[in-house]
Structure 1
Amino acid sequence: MDNRSSPGDPQPVEDGEMRGPDLARAALQAAREQSAAKRKQRGSKPQGKVRTRRRRGWSAAGPDDRDPQPLGKLASRIAKDRGWTENLTGGQVFAKWGALVGEEVAEHTKPVALKDGELTVQAESTAWATQLRLLQRQILKRIADGVGRDVVKRIKVQGPAAPSWRYGPRHVPGRGPRDTYG
């Protein structure tokens, strides 16, 4: 007889004690019996919510949520979900300024800020600032037609600004750097 043993063979039992795979098989069988006893005790219905795995089926002939989406559609959905639509439509006023007001007016003016429906526009001269004030109603109508209603409700026109010697949030009163030269 061959004294070699294979891994699946039961180990010899000494003093009624099990070893190796036989011990694991016995523990597994005891756990199965205990689980079956608990199931009988509480009834055959499983308690709690049963998770079922949803299998992916084939897509139908029509559009589906899993189909690739155009980038513009996804971007507009994200903007709508996060509340960015007002800021984006305001940004269109700046981007389309030349087309909205006309090229001649756009050469001499530029939009500076849009806050709470008030568009601040800076003109390069006082004559163009006066001209913008006279054309204010027509410009508001063209902006409403081009971008949307209630994006710009009023226009504040600024003339050319003189250079400022005030820099930074803190300022010391006085003439600034000019008082050291003479």
Structure 2
Amino acid sequence: MGDSMSDEMYLAEGVDAPHALLSRIRAAKEARGEHRVQGAAGRKIIKDFGRAMKVESGPKVRRFSSENGVSQLGGYSEAGPSSRDPQSLAGLLNRVIMERGWTTPLAVSSVLARWDQIAGPSLACKAIPETFEGGVLTVRCESTAWAVQVRQMKYDIMRRFNSELGDEIVTDVRAFGPTAPSWKKGRRVAPGGRGPRDTYG
């Protein structure tokens, strides 16, 4: 009985799907003992539901273009390359690097990563690059003797770096021996003392 009434109700109102669906919902609610919404409130629910059930495409958003022809937000981009097209990660990184002036430090870091190839295996195992600031490469050596040797080779090292990076990127190479521990004990120092010597080199 209930199914036939529902079918008749659906056929009678089949031309208006939102009303038919609401009628079936009302019948189910009445069967559960719930009260039907009356008056203006009911009409508003039907009106809002019918509007939501309509399948229509939304209005097309207008596209605005600047004087130089670059598409602005709010529309569709035409066929071909556009400033709003998805950008590759590599392209975005390169742009950030260029804008922030990281080109030289990153290039130097990439070359320092190949220190053993540039300096040679015999020197690379005795001297390690520490910093690069203002065109000056600082190298820490395991002994004073190796620091002296790096100082003697600095023009050759600079030439190798600049052949990879470009002229005058590395303007100086400074080599230092091992950092010796302090021999100073207490607040007083004997006058005329020579201080710590290179005991470790």
Report TM bin, short chain: 0.5 to 0.7
Contact 1:89–1:151 (CA under 8 A) maintained in structure 2: no
Q: Is the CA contact (8 Å cut-off) linking 1:92 and 1:147 kept in structure 2?
A: no
Q: CA deviation at 1:93?
A: 4.0
Mapped to 1, the partners of 2:95 and 2:77 lie a distance apart of: 26
Name the aligned partner's letter for residue 173 of structure 1.
Answer: R
1:70 aligns with 2:84: no
The residue that corresponds to 2:153 in the other structure is 135
Tell me what 2:134 maps to.
Answer: 116
Count of equivalent residues: 122
Backbone CA RMSD of aligned residues: 3.0
Structure 1 residues 125 and 80: CA distance shift in structure 2, 3 A: same
Correspondence for 1:173 among 149, 173, 187: 187
> In 2, Cα distance between the equivalents of 1:82 and 1:106?
31
- Any gaps of 5 or more consecutive residues in structure 1? 8-51, 167-171, 176-182
Please give the per-residue CA displacement for 1:122-151, whole angstroms capped at 9, x wherever unaligned: 111222222212221111011011233332
Structure-1-length-normalised TM-score: 0.55
Report the counterpart of residue 56 of structure 1 in structure 2: 76
User: Which blocks of at least 5 consecutive residues in structure 2 are unaligned?
Assistant: 1-37, 41-61, 65-74, 190-201
Q: Closer, same or farther in 2 for the Cα pair 1:72/1:103, shift >3 Å? A: farther
1:144-164 Cα deviation digits (max 9, x unpaired): 112333321011111222124
Where in structure 2 are the equivalents of 1:24-173 lying within 5 Å?
53-54=63-64, 55-60=75-80, 63-164=81-182, 173=187
SS in 1 for 2:175: strand
Q: CA deviation at 1:78?
A: 0.4
- Percent of residue pairs bearing the same amino acid type: 35
Counterpart-to-counterpart distance in 1, 2:139 and 2:178 = 10
Instruction: Verify the 8 A CA contact 2:127 2:140 in the aligned structure 1.
Output: yes
| Secondary structure of residue in 1 paired with 2:92 | helix
Measure how far apart 1:165 and its partner are.
6.8
Higher relative contact order (CA 8 A, sep 6+): 1
CA positional deviation for 1:56 = 0.7
**Secondary structure of the structure 1 residue equivalent to 2:125:** helix
Give the 3 Å change call, closer, same or farther, for CA 98–73 of structure 1 in structure 2: farther
